[in-house]
Structure 1
Amino acid sequence: MIISFIEKALIELRGIENADKALKSIFSAYGTWEQALKDVIWVVMGDSGQSYVYDDRQESVIDVRPLLKYRIAPLNQPVGAEDQIVIAANERMAYVYALDDKVELTEVMAQLKQEERFDILAMNDKEFVRVMQGNSEKTLSFAPGGQYSDEFGQTWTLSGDHEVLDITVTDNRIQYGRYPDVLARLYGGLHSHEGRYVVVTVQPGYELVGESSPTHVGGGAHGSLHELDSLVPLIISGADSEPSPKRIVDLKNWILKKTVD
């Protein structure tokens, strides 16, 4: 066990070392590192967080297929007339697509939520997004626009149990808990492309698989809306201001403004 832990640590350190070498080569192109810091505004950040995955494969890996009582389309083959569901698993989240018009997304949600290790299950319900928890009857529906506002200046309509997304509402002000900016991110994920589908995420410690999925047992994975997967480091050097709010989507306008300045 100790040897395994040390081996994993060394692998992680090699990745950090390679990143440092890449930064060194860029800084060295300016003659001196001091000159590089003087001439350029540097932004170093992560693209996502990582949460742990339990060591026990039987416990940590969740196969979505046995949970669904439908004919699931196999990968690497044309979709057949009898196929009803396609699963797109990506580490700690998955899209579950309904191909057959007779498949009700509410029933897909009902089948999936029986798995207590699931965290968030969501689907489009007309103009609203309907959200449920794994192994729970609690529900929450929301839509853009409305009387409730969040810390990012976004407004929302909310109906149901706020605990589903760990949201606190005080005087019509939304405060996010363990799922940062979850309303905008979940709404974006459910309106990013056409189709009829359910989005599902798992709690920390677990990972989803489908027919052919890599796993990270005993390591780390990401893809969910949980803060462990979402919060990233951000280092800025050489600027007299900083992005506000500090979300990845807010960096664009800040960078454009700095290029004009």
Structure 2
Amino acid sequence: MQVRGASADALAALTGELEARLQGGTDAARVGGDLFQVSQLLRGEPGLRRIATDASLEAGPKQELVRQILAGKVDQVALDLVASAVGRRWTASRDLADTVERLSEVATVRTAGDDASRLSDELFEFEQVVAQNPALRDALSDTSRSIDDKTVLVRSLLEGKALEATVTLVQQSLAGTYRTVGAALQSYQKVAAEVAGKSAATVRVAHTLSAADRQRLADVLSAQYGRAIHLNVVVDPSVVGGVRVEIGDDVIDGTVAGRLDDARRKLVS
């Protein structure tokens, strides 16, 4: 999710509010679920969204309207966060729903506790399963199938095998907020890494890395970027040899194929 200006400031402030409330023993799973439902409500009701983000209206009446609509339907912490969001300025109307959904993702990631790394791994692994299985990818993207039907499919694949946070986020990926399920899962991995104070790196290699090699690579990248790095390793025969690392917009290509391509470009130029 990319937001700018006032929306970026609002996202940062609201994330801080959420983190503070979660540290007080709030039910993160309930808050995450409620915030996700509110984000879908805001997307489905453009009139409400326009009123909630209208900078010409005073914050108080807008917040009261939201409290009246949501009172008794969502957790008090979720309600307070949404009211706080409505009282802020937004660069674009759609940024409010996007931000509320991002808060739901953060809250859900927090339910994993000490299993944050496992959550990142499971999201990455399911993303790879979807990418490599055309039948599953088509089933999850089929607009003729209901969300409930797809949810049952996801639960049949993951329940009892993955963290509940993983199941929840995969189910949320079906809502269509992101371009594809795969794009949603990639975004969730970044959120999980950020919540854990890390950056996510996709590493492409020709053969499986040993635990020692993974740790050495993680240590080198952590030293280079100044923060802990969570590795998502993809075994890709096209790599030929070496390692290709993608961190955000950065690409470190140390593969044989990459060096050959580079040499080819230099010869042509």
TM-score category, normalised to shorter length:
under 0.3
TM normalised by structure 2 equals: 0.27
Report which structure shows greater RCO (CA 8 Å, sep ≥6).
1
TM normalised by structure 1 equals: 0.28
